[in-house]
Structure formats: structure tokens, C-alpha cells
A and B are shown apart, each in its own frame.
Chain A
């Protein structure tokens, strides 16, 4: 039987980078899963309550889309919505515990289907302090084109060395 869950490509940064790109994504899978472990070099105030995140562009552009997030920070929960490109909340920034990276998984089902593309994510940004984050996001990429590339960015600044990115393909048959 063909392998169901396959690593398409990976990138572990040996130096800081403004973004990470996955290009020429084959159309032979059913779903995509992107798993990342990241930290940005920008002090966005995450340790004091300013939620920061990641964003991603599809097929070479910001595109159009929307999303709904649900986050907890150790004290309160919140939910908010956006109506532009792909976003993932939270992310670990430079204000948070040193040598600590946040984690996220983004699942994009039916990424080649001729329909708008929903996606879901779960991400965490722990901090050895009173404020850390856990978040889930429901997103929508408003395009009927197959996804052939992804570019991931930190909200501000650069990804630090050691940030890692893994793109998997899942086949349903």
C-alpha cells in the first residue's frame, strides 16, 4: 500500500530568516499538514499580554481569506476574527522565555479541490511567567485554485536560527 503520511519537505534554519517557503508542492496528496516550531527575534510584548502570531501566503500572494481564533493566555480567553490572509495565533516572540520555541500544526484538507480552502490550526506559546498562550484557529483561504506554494512569516522580525518547518502530505487512498 502506498504511504499515507509523507514528508514532502522540511527546513530547519541555521540562521535567522524573514520567511520560509515551500514551493512546487505536488498535487498528488489529499491534505497538507504543516508543523512548525518557531520563535521570532521581535519583541512583540507576548510575555506581557500582546498576542502575536504567524501569517502565511498561498500561491505567491497574500490572497483573500478570513479566520476565527480562540485563545487562552493563562488568565482569560478571547475570540476574534480577521478578514484577510492566513494567520495563526499564537507564536513565541523575543519577549518570552529564552531558548523556548512555540509549536503549531496547520491542517489544510482537500488543498487541490476546486473550492475555497478551509484550514485549521492548533498552536502554543508557553512562557515561564504568568502569560503564555494556547490557541486554535479556523481559517478560510478564498480561492478555488490548488495550493502549490506556501510562504510562512513571523508577525514581526525574523524567525531565529533553530526554527523548524515540516510539510507533510496525506493521501486518502
Chain B
């Protein structure tokens, strides 16, 4: 039986880096999943872009709990997907699910960020939209005025429906 859930690429940083990129993503899967674990050198927001598109073609709805309050917000016409905030003190964990990433419709993604840092932090669920009908062939993660710390791991998985 052909494999359904396959690692496409994985990166573990041997030194701090300002970005992590998955490129040349094959169009042969149905869905993609990214799993990232690590810390930010200083503690900052993670953004990611598809196919090097940094124009205002992204939007999102966010639901979060901070341990004190629950809230929701939206952002339209943004220049990237928002994947939450990572901190420097404890490792954080983000997953991104991209359904039908190679299809010819706009691209929806579901993002979870688990950033509990022992007495503070948050949990966030985000639905994002990239208004492009192009197949996703690259994903670039960046961290606002900061770096992903050494030891941060990011893996891209492909999921086949048949």
C-alpha cells in the first residue's frame, strides 16, 4: 500500500536562523502538515508566506486563551500568515494544516500554537486564508525582528487521500 503520511523535509537548526524555508514542494499530495518545535531567541511573532508572496493576500481569524481570558480577533489584507508567538524560555509547538494545497482555489490553513511557558503564555487556534489559486510550492517561516533558536525543528509532511 502506498504511504499515506510521509515526511517531505525536516530541518533542525544547528545555529540560530532568521527564517526556515521548505521549497520545491511536490504537488503529489492532497494535504500538507507542518510541525515546528523550538524557541525564539528573544520571543517574537512567527509569520509565514507561500511562494514568496509578501503582498497583502492573507487574512485570519484567531481564537486564543491566555490563562486569564479568552478572546477572538481578525485580520484582513495582511502580508503573511500569523502563526502565533514563540518565547525564549520554554519550547513552543506549532502545527499548520494545509488542505488541498495544490488545488486551484484559495488556500485555507489551520494553525495551532501551544505556547505555555510555566505560568504565562497562551494557546491559539487560527484559521488563515491565502487568496491565491496557485499551488503551494514553498513555505517560508520568519520571526519578527528575531531568530529561531538553535535546536528548533520543523518538519513538512505530505498526506495522500488515495
Contacts and interface: CB of A to CB of B under 8 A. Distances in A.
Contacts of B120: 81
Contact of B6 (A1, A65, A66, A71): A1
Contacts of A140: 90, 116-118
The 3 residue pairs across chains A and B that have the minimum distance between CB atoms = A70-B65, A79-B65, A81-B67
A3 B3 contact: yes
B68 to A, nearest CB: 6
B139 interface: no
Interface residues of A, number: 41
A52 B117 CA distance: 23
Contacts, number: 121
Nearest to A81: B67
Chain B at the A interface: SS class: strand
B69 to A, nearest CB: 6
Interface in A104-145: 107, 109-110, 113, 115-120, 122, 136-140, 142
Contact of A142 (B7, B118, B123): B118
Interface string A4-15: 110000000000
Nearest to A122: B112
B114 interface: yes
Which residue, of B10, B67, B92, B112, has the highest number of chain A Cβ atoms within 10 A?
B67
Interface in B92-127: 92-93, 95, 112-123, 125
A136 B67 CA distance: 12
A80 interface: yes
A83 interface: yes
A172 to B, nearest CB: 4
16 contacts: A66-B118, A67-B116, A68-B65, A68-B66, A77-B70, A78-B65, A79-B64, A79-B69, A107-B93, A110-B91, A113-B151, A118-B91, A119-B93, A136-B123, A138-B123, A173-B7
Nearest to A109: B37
B112 A120 contact: yes
B35 interface: yes
Given A77-B70, A115-B151, A118-B37, A68 B123 contact: yes
Contact of A70 (B3, B35, B64): B64
A81 B91 CA distance: 17
Contacts of B37: 109-110, 113, 118
Contacts of B122: 68, 138
Contacts of B116: 66-68, 81, 118, 138-140
B74 interface: no
A118 B65 contact: no
